[in-house]
Amino acid sequence: MKYFAGIDVGSLTAKAVVIDENGKILGYHIQPIGQDSLVAGMNAYQKALTIPGLKREDVSSIVSTGYSRKRFTEASSQKTEISCHAKGISVLFPAVRTLIDVGGQDSKAIKISKDGRVLDFAMNDKCAAGTGRFVEVMANVLNLSLNGLSDSALSFKNELTLSSTCTVFGESEVVSLLSQGQNVPDISWAIIKSIADRIVALAKRVGIENDVAMSGGMAKNKALVSRLEEKLECKILVAEEPQIMGALGAALIAKG
């Protein structure tokens, strides 16, 4: 049996996936980047290997992806996360034509061909608005975890609006909403609506074609997924572990 690995070293987390020659996922691991992206990537890889009890020499080929992909010299090649996410999702959900990936620093909408190739893509501009980082900053202000923010948003009562899409100004806006005595669930929902609007605009740039899927850490946010489904008027498919889609795609590319 031959084994392959994909390592996705993103802006906030490192993800590693190990598969066998049939493309079956044998192990994966997600961990925060901390101070050194290369160390985080290697740790994630080591931990993913221990799950099926493999050693580094058992792996035939590695593909790295994500912002720090080029630092990972052990990889036989580097691919952008755009190609990797497209590859990963098209193996899990072959009917997907539009993929929305919302990670820590980037959000992207990817148009995928029937054979899993990238036809077109759009990404957020040089700004954290519409990315996971935006939600993370707001959750911190509210003293909530990311899941906590999602749960809180789903129990909202009143519609509030966050007018700023800028993370820095948005943060002060959330602070002032709190000081006005607004309820946390209502503010949480306003945060979700704000990021969803940015993502919808991005997705419409490449054009929405069914099926639509979502990947990246923010796909775990139920409030966001439900808001996107409502705004895009379609069902959004989410994998069991959407955060490893890039690493899975990288492993599948390594398999060839």
Partner 1 sequence: MTKFRVSETMKEMMASYYLEAKNAAYNNIPVAWITSGGPVEFLHAMGVIPVYPENYAPMCSITRVSKDLIEVSEAAGYSSDLCSYARTDIGADMTQGGPIMGLPKPDMLIVGTNICHTVVKWFDVHARKYNVPLFIIDMPYLHDGMTKEAINYVVKQFESFKVFLSGVLKKRFDEEKFRETLFLAAQVSGLWEKVLAMGKKKPSPINSFDTFIHLAPIVTLRGTQRAVDYYTQFYDELVELNTQGFGSVPDEKIRLLWDNLPIWYKIKYLSEFFAKHKAAFVVSTYTNSWAAIQGDIDTDHALEELARAYLSPYINRDFKYRIEYLVKLIEEFSLDGIVFHSDRSCKPYSLGQYMIKEEVTKRTGKPGLIIEADMNDPRVFSDAQFETRAEAFLEGYEK
The site for partner 1 (CB under 8 A) is made up of 67, 79-83, 106, 117-123, 125-126, 205
Cβ distance to partner 1 smaller for residue 2 or 117: 117
Cβ distance to partner 1 smaller for residue 21 or 120: 120
CB of 150 to partner 1, least distance (A): 27
DSSP 3-state percent helix, strand, coil across the chain (nearest 5): 45, 20, 30
Are 84 and 63 within 8 A, CB to CB?
yes
Cβ distance to partner 1 smaller for residue 125 or 240: 125
CB of 7 to partner 1, least distance (A): 16
CB of 79 to partner 1, least distance (A): 6
Cβ distance to partner 1 smaller for residue 223 or 248: 248
To the nearest 10°, report the CA torsion of 209, 211, 212, 214: -150
Question: Taking the mean position of all CA atoms in its chain, how far away is CA 174?
Answer: 24
Cβ distance to partner 1 smaller for residue 62 or 139: 62
Is residue 161 classed exposed, middle or buried when 0-12, 13-18 and 19+ CB atoms within 10 A define those classes? exposed
CB of 81 to partner 1, least distance (A): 7
CB of 105 to partner 1, least distance (A): 9
